[in-house]
Amino acid sequence: MAKLLKKPLKLALVQLATGADKTANLNRARSKVLEATGQGANVVVLPECFNSPYGTSFFPKYCEQLLPSPPSETQSPSYHALSALAKEAKVFLVGGSIPEHDPATKKYYNTSLTFNPEGKLLDTHRKVHLFDIDIPGKISFHESEILSPGNKVTLIDLPDYGKIGVAICYDIRFPELATIAARKGCFLLLYPGAFNLTTGALHWELQARARAMDNQVYVGLCSPARDMKAQYHAWGHSMVIDPNAQILSEADETESIVYANLEGEKIEETRKGIPLYSQRRFDVYPDVSEGKIRFGE
Ligand SMILES: NC(=O)CCC(=O)C(=O)O
C-alpha cells in the first residue's frame, strides 16, 4: 500500500483571538501564520469564522463574495488576504472559515478556503451540516436561520504530501464525511471549529479522537481563543490527534499555536496493528454503508 503521507509534515493550528474588527482579525491572522511558518510549519490552519465574531446576526454583516480577480479586493478582502498570506508565508493555508454570500443565489454559507504556497485557491468547503441545536438552559443556536448548507465532501491534494479532508465544526459529528475522506486516501482530517462551553466540555475531544480512531488517520481541530466578552464563548482547546487516537498536542482556551509533526509511518503502523481496513464486513452491512437504512426505518 502506498504511503498516504509521503513525507513528514509540521502542522500548525492557530487558535486565534478574534474580535469585531475584520481588518484587525486579518492582520492578526497574518502575524500568527507567519509566526507558525517561522517555526517550520508546512500546513497552517485558522479557526472557524476567524475574520468575524461567531453568531447568526454577524453573518450578513461580515459576509463576502468569493471573487478571485482584481479589482475585487473590496468585495473579497479575506479571500485576497489569505491568498497573499499563503504566498508570503510559502505555506499550505487552510483559511478557517468565513461568512460567504453568493449574490447569484442570494444565499449565505459558512465557507473554508484552502490555498497553496503560491497563493492559488485549491478548494472551498461550505459547511455541510448546519449547527442547529437546543439544549434547554444551556445553548440554543440555529445557523439555518441564515445559512444554507454546502453539498460536497472536500478532499484536497497537497502535492508532495498527500490528501487531506476539510470540513467545518458541526460536520465532525457526522462520521460519514470522515470515513469517506479516509477511504479515499486522506492522511489528515482538518476541522476549523468553534464548539462552546456546553458541548465543548462534553464532546470536543471525544469527537476528535473518535474520528481518528475510526479511520486511523491524523485529525486537527482548530478553535478561536475564548473571549468571555463575546456573544459566543468558544471552547478553545485546539488539538492534534494521531492515528491511534492519542492527543499529540493541545491548547488551553487562550490564544496560542498548536504544533505537531506528522509521519506517514504512524498511519501504517497503526493499521498494521489493528487492521480494520482489511476486516470490514461490507457483506454484513451493505445497506448501512450505502445509506439505505435511516433512523426510524
Ligand atoms: N460552530 C459549530 O458548528 C459548533 C458545533 C458545536 O458546538 C457542537 O457541539 O457540535
Interval 195-228: pLDDT, tens: 999 999 999 999 999 999 999 999 999 999 999 9
Active-site residue, 169 included: yes
The answer, yes or no, to whether any atom of ligand 1 lies below 6 A from the CB of 199, is yes
Residue 75's pLDDT is 84
Kindly report the pTM of this predicted structure: 0.96
Span 9-289: which CATH code?
3.60.110.10
**Cβ atoms of 84 and 102 closer than 8 Å:** no
Average pLDDT of the residues in 6-18: 98
> In the chain, pLDDT over 90 holds for what percent of residues?
91
Residue in the block written with cell 454503508: 289
Residue 276's pLDDT is 96
* 14 — pLDDT class (breaks 50, 70, 90): very high
Active-site residue, 49 included: no
> In the chain, pLDDT over 70 holds for what percent of residues?
97
Whether residue 183 is predicted with pLDDT greater than 80 in this model: the reply is: yes
Instruction: Compute CA 213 distance to the chain's CA centroid, rounded to the nearest angstrom.
Output: 18
ipTM greater than cut 0.85: yes
Per-residue model confidence as pLDDT tens digits over 86-144: 999 999 999 999 999 999 999 999 999 999 999 999 999 999 999 999 999 999 999 99
Whether residue 292 is predicted with pLDDT greater than 80 in this model: the reply is: no
Q: C-alpha distances in angstroms, 105 versus 11, 78, 100, 148?
A: 36, 21, 12, 10
Residue 2's pLDDT is 76
Ligand 1 centre from 147 Cα, in Å? 14
Can you tell me the distance from the alpha carbon of 11 to that of 159, in angstroms, rounded to the nearest whole number? Answer: 15
Of 58, 59, 132, 196, the one to substitute when testing ligand 1's pocket (max ligand atoms within 8 A of C-beta) is: 196
Range with the poorest average pLDDT among 38-47, 72-81, 104-113, 146-155:
72-81
Whether residue 297 is predicted with pLDDT greater than 60 in this model: the reply is: no
Residue 70's pLDDT is 66
Q: Phi/psi of residue 244, each to 5°?
A: -100, 15
Residue 97's pLDDT is 98
The answer, yes or no, to whether any atom of ligand 1 lies below 6 A from the CB of 173, is yes
Can you tell me the distance from the alpha carbon of 118 to that of 88, in angstroms, rounded to the nearest whole number? Answer: 8
The answer, yes or no, to whether any atom of ligand 1 lies below 6 A from the CB of 194, is yes
* 71 — pLDDT class (breaks 50, 70, 90): low
Whether residue 290 is predicted with pLDDT greater than 80 in this model: the reply is: no
The dihedral built from the CA positions of residue 128, 167, 197 and 202, taken in this order, carries a sign that is: positive
Residue 204's pLDDT is 98
The catalytically annotated residue of 49, 63, 169, 186 is 169
Per-residue model confidence as pLDDT tens digits over 232-266: 999 999 999 999 999 999 999 999 999 999 999 99
* 289 — pLDDT class (breaks 50, 70, 90): low
The answer, yes or no, to whether any atom of ligand 1 lies below 6 A from the CB of 181, is no
Can you tell me the distance from the alpha carbon of 241 to that of 222, in angstroms, rounded to the nearest whole number? Answer: 12
